[in-house]
Every structure is written in C-alpha cells, then in structure tokens.
C-alpha cells in the first residue's frame, strides 16, 4: 500500500492504542501465571498478535475478541502455571523482536529443544547476544546457519540455577527476557551489564515482575540486576496504558502544521521512556501542555501556537545545536528525526547505535529517505544529525531557506519509518506531497494509524 500525505490542518481529539511493550510483557507473564488473567486495552498489533499465537505453544490458553484487531477490547489468558511446558512447535515470532528476545530465555528453562524463527526481517536481526547469554546460563544455543548470527535460533535447556550472566546490554529486550525467565529458575539470577541502554524498558520489566509477586532489584546505574526465583506468578487484571511511542506521531504532525489537537488517555505512570520526547520538543519551543488531571496532551503548532507562529528553533542553544541522548528511548529516533527537519538549527540525535539493529538500520534509512525530501542529514556510527530550517522566520513570514519538498520514499517495511515519513508530508508546502511505499507495515505497532489520523484531519489517501 502506498500512502499520500499533503499539507493539512489537524484538529480534535485522538486516542492512541495501548502500549506494545506493556502488552507483550502482560501476555507472557499471564501465560506463566496460575489462574486466569484479564488484559484490557491491549495493543492489537501484528507483534502482539504474534505473541498471542506463540504463548499457547507453552500451555497457555488465550481468548481474543472476535475482531482481534479491534482496539479497546479485553484479552483473557488462562495461564499454564505448573503445567507450562516446552514449546510444542516451532515458535514463529513474525516481525516481533520483542517476542523473540523475551520468549527465547523462557524457552531455555525447559528440558529439550526449542526453535525460533520469523519473517525475513527477523531473520536478519542479530541473536549472538542471546546465544552468548543463554550459554552462560548453561543452555545450548545455536543459529541454524552456522556463524550467521541470525534466526532460526535453536535452544536446548534446561539452564542452571544461581547463575551470573555478564553481557553488554545495548539491547534491553533479551535482558528483560532473562528477568522473566528467572521466575522459573532456582535461586537468584544475577545479570551484570557493561553498557546498559534502553534502561526505561528494564525498569518496566521490573515493575511488571513486582506486580506479579517477584523480587527484582536493579542498581541505580542499571549495571547490576537480580531476580529471585522460583516464583509462582499471580494472575492479574490489568489495563494496558497508552503507547508513548505511538503518541509521538500525532504529536510531531501537529507541531509542523497549523494545528491544535489533544491526545487523550496518555500514560503518566513513568514506565515508558519515550515520554521524554515532550521535554525534548519543548526545549525547541514546542507548544505542548500536559494535563495530569485528565491524562491528556494538548499540542499546538504553527499559527495555532500561543504565539501565533509556532516556530521550532535551536538558535537559543549553544552553537544553535540541540544534542539529545536517545539511549533510553531509541525508538523515538524516527519521529524526532522527522520533526527536526522543521527546526531552525541542528539537532544531533546521539547514542543510537542500537538503531542499526532494529527492523531496519534506522540511521542509514532515515538519512536516505529524508535526503530524498530535501533534508540535510549527517550520519555517524551512533548518531544522526539533522541540519534543518523552520518554514517561518521569527516574525512568522516564510523562510526562504526552508527547502523540504515532496518525493516518493520507502518505508523499508519499518512501521516507525513509515509513520514518521507520512507525518512529515503533512507539514510540506502547498502542492507538495510525500508518497510512502509499503505503508501498511504501520499495523505492527499502530493498527488503523491512517484511519485514526484521518479522523483529526490528516487527509491521508491511498495512491491508485
């Protein structure tokens, strides 16, 4: 599917779906639990549905609404508990790196072989860090294609008790997987991280484990993690909070257009690192109000901003540059890079080498596709810099240096790339349009993204 984005004005209220990170953790822990759990407002995305198909392989029973892609539903999980077992088939994770990295350590706690694979994208993502960690736990772990470092992944458990795993920690997901797997191990699992990144997600896992009756400890520098096992996980009834990773897209769309929107039911629980994007954008002059009483976010861009101009700028910062360390919330790189094209000055998005190991090499892809639209982009091994211009000068008149234009761009089947480029197209000048190829991949994390955005005036259309 090819989506066309043109200049528009957004207005009204939008509610983004539940958090993917919370939903997948909830499904896995509910599957390990004794009793029946209720997961309300889950994210019915492709990754979460892949998880719903995977957990029955270890003995859980899951009931979805008849329309499994409907938002605002309740999923019921009858936990496997004491009857949990080795996956009774190959685990196909689809496109979900979270499911791959979370569930493979859990599978290593069983006596026998487990096989993990996925779609073409997953079969290119690295698993060497997983095999190394599982071997330290006493499991056998290999890739089907010798020295490939990618899926299919073969694992033979069980793991040993009372282990200490030493690993880098640049990717947080397999660390979270080991933390969940520790609930099935005897004694305390100790994890020593030399270079912890994406730390808000480790905190999220810790909070989930604690809510299920598990003792978990993380040092202030996130280099030392301990989880006590074994533990009988308690079933639960929970509401999945909204996804800050998804909030970023209507947020940036409003800021680069003459728009005023309100994002309802945002998560103020502090477990999603991506909420930090609000402070980043406000440092550039963004007009954003967070209402803690009704958990909403109001965003005003362009002529709808309080000053009637809505100019985003780094000119007041040293050397006209904003430096943002994104190691804690690297999934925000796509949205932040897109909105930075509309910022007067340079935005350096740093400490993001992990982004080269996501659905795509996001650093390389963003440089390639943003340059097609006329952006000036600098790429480093662990950073991307956007040398941008605001569409308007300080007095609100048109900026002659603003040179973004329309073009056809490729999503590379990366959901965050697709949504970022589509939103960028909404801020271009009259007569310009962005065509995003393979835009249907948005369903991985935001089902019905284009429909939801069109309800507030985005005007996205399908190319014929």
As annotated, the active-site residues are 331
- Token pair in block for residue 443: 């369903």
The three state secondary structure string of the chain is CCEEEECCCCEEEECCCECHHHHHHHHHHHHHCECEEEEECCCCCHHHHHHHHHHHHHCCEEECCCCCCCCCCEEEEECCHHHCCCCCCCEECCCCHHHHHHHHHHHCCCCEEEEEECCCCHHHCECHHHHHHHHHCCCEEEECCCCCCECCEEEEECCCCCCEEEECCCCCHHHHHHHHHHHHCCEEEEEEECCCCCHHHHHHHHHHHHHCCCCEEECCCCCEEEEEECCCCECCEEECCECHHHHHHHHHHHHCCCCEEEECCCCCCCCCHHHHHHHHHHCCCCEEEEECCCCEEEEECHHHCCCCCCCEECCCCHHHEEEEECCCCHHHHHHHHHHHCCEEEEEEEECCHHHHHCCCCHHHHHHHHHHHCCCEEEECCCEEEEEECCCECCCCCECCCCCCCCEEEECCCCHHHHHHHHHHHCCCCCCCEEEEECHHHHHHCCCCHHHHHHCCCCCCEECC
Do residues 298 and 289 lie in contact, with contact meaning Cβ atoms separated by under 8 Å? Answer: yes
Q: Give residue 275's Cα distance to chain centre.
A: 12
């Amino acid at each position: 599917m090819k989506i066309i984005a043109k200049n528009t004005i957004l207005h009204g209220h939008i509610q983004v779906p539940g958090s993917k990170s919370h939903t997948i953790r909830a499904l896995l822990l509910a599957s390990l639990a004794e009793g029946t759990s209720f997961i309300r407002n889950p994210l019915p995305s492709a990754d979460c549905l892949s998880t719903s198909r995977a957990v029955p392989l270890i003995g859980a029973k899951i009931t979805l609404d008849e329309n499994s892609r409907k938002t605002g539903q309740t999923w019921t999980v009858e936990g496997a508990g004491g009857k949990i077992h080795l996956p009774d088939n190959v685990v196909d994770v689809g496109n979900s790196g979270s499911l791959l990295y979370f569930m493979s350590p859990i599978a290593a706690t069983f006596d026998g072989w487990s096989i993990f694979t996925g779609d073409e994208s997953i079969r290119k993502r690295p698993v060497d860090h997983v095999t190394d960690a599982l071997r330290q736990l006493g499991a056998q772990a290999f890739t089907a294609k010798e020295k490939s470092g990618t899926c299919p992944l073969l694992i033979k458990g069980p793991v040993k008790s009372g282990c200490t795993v030493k690993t880098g920690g640049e990717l947080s997901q397999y660390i979270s997987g080991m933390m969940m797997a520790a609930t099935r191990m005897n004694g305390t699992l100790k994890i020593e991280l030399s270079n912890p990144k994406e730390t808000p997600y480790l905190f999220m896992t810790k909070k989930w484990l604690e809510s299920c009756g598990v003792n978990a400890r993380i040092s202030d520098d996130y280099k030392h993690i301990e989880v006590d096992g074994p533990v009988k996980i308690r079933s639960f009834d929970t509401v999945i909070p909204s996804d800050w990773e998804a909030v970023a897209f209507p947020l940036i769309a409003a800021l680069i257009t003459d728009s005023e929107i309100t994002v309802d039911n945002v998560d103020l629980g502090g477990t999603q690192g991506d909420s930090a994007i609000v402070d980043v954008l406000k440092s550039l002059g963004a007009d954003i109000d967070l209402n803690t009483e009704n958990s909403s976010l109001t965003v005003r861009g362009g002529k709808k901003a309080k000053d009637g101009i809505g100019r985003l700028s780094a000119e007041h910062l040293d050397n006209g540059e904003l430096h943002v360390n994104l190691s804690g919330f690297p999934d925000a790189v796509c949205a932040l890079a897109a909105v930075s094209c509309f910022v007067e000055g340079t935005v350096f998005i740093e400490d993001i080498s992990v982004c080269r190991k996501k659905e795509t090499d996001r650093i390389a892809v963003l440089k390639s596709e943003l340059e097609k639209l006329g952006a000036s982009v600098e790429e480093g091994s662990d950073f991307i810099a956007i040398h941008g211009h605001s569409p308007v000068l300080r007095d609100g008149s048109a900026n002659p240096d603003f040179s973004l234009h329309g073009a056809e761009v490729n999503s590379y089947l990366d959901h965050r790339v697709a949504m970022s480029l589509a939103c960028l197209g909404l801020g271009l000048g009259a007569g310009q349009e962005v065509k995003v190829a393979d835009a249907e991949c948005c369903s991985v994390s935001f089902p019905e993204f284009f429909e939801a955005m069109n309800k507030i005036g985005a005007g996205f259309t399908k190319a014929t």
